[in-house]
Structure 1
Amino acid sequence: MDAVVAAPRALLGRTIVGPASVRIRDGRIVEVTTGEAPPGAEVLSDGLLTPGLVDVQVNGAVGVDFAEVDAHGMRSVAEALPSTGVTRFLPTLITAPVDVVLRQARAVLAASAALPDGVGARPLGVHLEGPFLSPKRAGVHDPSFMVEPGPDQISALLDDDLIRRALRMVTMAPEQPGGFEAVRRLAEAGVLVAVGHSDATGEQTRAAADAGARMVTHLFNAQRPLGHREPGVPGVALVDERFTLGLIADLAHVGPDVCRLVFNAAGARVALVTDAVAAAGMPPGRYHLGGADVLLTEDGVPRSPEGTIAGSALTLDRAVRNIVSVGVPVADALASATIVPAEVIGESGLGRLAPGAVADLVWWDDDLRPKKVWVDGRVVFDAEVPVAPPVAAGYATAGQ
């Protein structure tokens, strides 16, 4: 039986129109119309209807570190994310030895497969942020685990049938020995390659795009910086239209004026990401990232014990609000969390309200806070229904 959701305003593509109605059948959108709501529709009284948000860089949340995840932990994350508007997410694993990363990836995939239908947001596979990174731009990653992306290392990923089918994204430093050939092999295998934790020059960044790289991981962070003669990674990324730009818009990783600059220069290619760690959605305390300690203090920015920023406690709905607060139009901010990330990972059925798309929807209030969320046409979050606060799922809790 069809269900129809009607809203006074809706994000269609990159434009807000309204009123509009979305007809849902068997978890898919079958029709989108504008004008008066049809008989029998669920009519939303106010606010804005959009596609579900898509986050392609999530290391964990609500006390769960994906490097140590089990079925219970994955379910905790999946149930928590819809309250932030996220309906699809890409579990991300940071630098570890290749054999350890493969074991962690299998655990992520097993935990994802154990999720019951109709429970929360849905994982999209796995994103490996390392170990093929530059020790010069390690950030909080352990440089002792970083390796060159040689043929054997790439084969270890691609020759494993389970990993190859689920490997959606690899962040790497293409300037490392063997890097450009690794980019080619991964891209030819259908994996999204992102330049990140990289000391690449502008010329090397452009060469990575020539080899098939199509994204930059957390623009400006842990990469050769923008200079007025040597553009580094961000300078080329801002002008080379082949790149989608991942941006952590907590306004700590990248300041407000620079966030606005990025949107002014390349707004149609920005994909907002959280880079969230286990501390996201939790009170101040000690958590894990890749098995290592991360401290969340009252300022809301997770850091290593040495003080290095270690991922974020950002949620994607807050990233949208932050970007709107620096002067970016609402439609552009929302597109950067829906259609842009969906397209860069090749998911044409996500991130849009259009016939044939998956019926992932978010109803926002006038302050851009999620009121109700649907995944595959089923309600998975309703702000009017009380839920218990998140409790860390057995890995790290505040104060430990």
Structure 2
Amino acid sequence: MTRVSGRIVTPDAVVTGHLDLDDDLIAAIVPDETAGDDVIVPGFVDLHCHGGGGHTFTTGSAPAAREAAAFHLRHGTTTIMASLVSSPFALMRSAVDDYRPLVDDGTLAGIHFEGPYLSGIRCGAQNPAFLRDPSMAEITELVSEGSGVVRMMTIAPELPGALEAITYLRDHDVLAAIGHTDATYDQTHAGVAAGATVATHLFNGMRPLHHREPGPVVGLLSSTATVELIADNIHLHPGMLAFAARDAGPDRAILITDAMDATGMPDGRYELGGQEVIVADRVARLAVNGSIAGSTLTMDVALRNAVTAGLPLIDAARMASTTPARLLGLTKTLGALTPGLRADLVILTPDLTLKSVLRSGTRIS
């Protein structure tokens, strides 16, 4: 039996006491006011990450993906999705086969295809050379051959054939996300009605809101969709992060990194989806036009930034772990500090600085 002591953040309360671990599972929470002031939160679940530690998910390379996942694991992300950017179909198809062993062994929770069925007007750092309207032939092949591997796909709902594609994804247990979109408010709601359940990095890569045409931001916040928020204080002002998180609530808002391979690396020149990216003072921008190109964020910092922005620690932990785990259908296994669940936990100092990580009860760092 292993014991971890401190302020234990459960889905409903912060309990000062001991977390007892029995091999890879949480056995019990034992209250004890003398247990110390370390903060213990569930292992983070990142649904949107392109890489880190100098390694990328975007090229479909299994060795690179394994290293990127290991980098984020050391920062507390015990469950991670490999997000690709807009790419030729051949790369998307090969990634399904190459990443399957990593899904099977638990290194990855699956693949998120962010594109290529996105708006050219709102492409952001997506490579416009690879953008195209939704192709049911491509999507059906990816989903059928990638059963259990392809877990999410981002689509702009205003594109021809998008609603059919979204419904198909929903009906085949793949999360359909709305993002990189110039959709109107009504088109956004049509996408949600068709089956979309996630908003890809809310605000970023979207038509700005306007009081006469609310657009996708208000459309998504006013819907049942869960909204992704990049809490790096670059993509979103802390005030806007707090506003969106409070509006959606911790059961409909999740923290993501949108991290690229430059995360944890020195400033310099990098590549994303065939385009050059320059990283300076932790901000990644396309060399060609200065568009923000992903982040250099880790989930431990995202949690701290969310709390600093004014969100309660319990809510921030739910947004970083419990709610994304629910989207993936994993709440019977992980995502919270609850007896019977997998012993994935992150130990933080009182000021929420990373101290240690355990996955399945095994200390990682």
User: Do both share a fold (TM > 0.5)?
Assistant: yes
User: Aligned residue for 2:29?
Assistant: 33
CA distance in 1, matches of 2:68, 2:356: 17
Contact 1:247 1:270 in 2 (8 A): yes
Comparing 273-282 and 62-71, the one that deviates more = 62-71
User: Aligned residue for 1:390?
Assistant: none
1:234 aligned to which of 217, 225, 228: 217
CA distance in 1, matches of 2:90, 2:267: 33
User: Aligned residue for 1:397?
Assistant: none
User: Aligned residue for 1:139?
Assistant: 124
The 3 A distance-change label for structure 1 pair 347 and 48 is same
State how 1:170-249 maps to structure 2 within 5 Å: 170-240=153-223, 242-249=224-231
**2:282 is the counterpart of 1:305:** no
| Deviation for aligned residue 1:71 | 4.4
CA distance in 1, matches of 2:62, 2:126: 25
Contact 2:61 2:95 in 1 (8 A): no
| Deviation for aligned residue 1:99 | 2.2
Aligned length: 362
Structure 1 gaps of 5+ residues are 38-42, 116-120, 382-400
The 3 A distance-change label for structure 1 pair 180 and 69 is closer
User: Aligned residue for 1:64?
Assistant: 55
Contact 1:32 1:353 in 2 (8 A): no
User: Aligned residue for 2:310?
Assistant: 327
2:249 aligned to which of 233, 254, 267: 267
AA in 1 matched with 2:357: V
State how 1:120-159 maps to structure 2 within 5 Å: 122-159=107-144
| Deviation for aligned residue 1:44 | 6.5
| Deviation for aligned residue 1:328 | 1.4
Identity within the alignment, %: 36
| Deviation for aligned residue 1:16 | 1.5
C-alpha root-mean-square deviation of aligned residues, in Å?
A: 2.0
The 3 A distance-change label for structure 1 pair 196 and 7 is same
1:49-89 residue CA offsets vs partner (Å, 9 max, x unmatched):
11101111110111112123544423322332233221111
User: Aligned residue for 1:12?
Assistant: 10
User: Aligned residue for 1:379?
Assistant: 363
AA in 1 matched with 2:25: R
Helix, strand or coil at the partner of 1:236: helix
Helix, strand or coil at the partner of 1:58: coil
Contact 2:51 2:259 in 1 (8 A): yes
**2:282 is the counterpart of 1:285:** no
1:99 aligned to which of 90, 98, 103: 90
The 3 A distance-change label for structure 1 pair 355 and 311 is same
Comparing 196-205 and 15-24, the one that deviates more = 15-24
| Deviation for aligned residue 1:149 | 1.4
TM-score by length of 1: 0.85
User: Aligned residue for 2:236?
Assistant: 254
1:50 aligned to which of 41, 51, 55: 41
**Which portions of structure 1, spanning 4 or more consecutive aligned residues, are displaced by more than 6 angstroms?**
none
Contact 2:56 2:260 in 1 (8 A): yes
1:233-256 residue CA offsets vs partner (Å, 9 max, x unmatched):
11022222x211101111111112
Helix, strand or coil at the partner of 1:258: helix
AA in 1 matched with 2:354: P
Helix, strand or coil at the partner of 1:319: helix
Contact 2:56 2:65 in 1 (8 A): no
CA distance in 1, matches of 2:20, 2:274: 43
CA distance in 2, matches of 1:13, 1:122: 25
Helix, strand or coil at the partner of 1:339: helix
Contact 2:60 2:94 in 1 (8 A): no
Structure 2 gaps of 5+ residues are none
| Deviation for aligned residue 1:143 | 2.0
Contact 1:6 1:44 in 2 (8 A): no
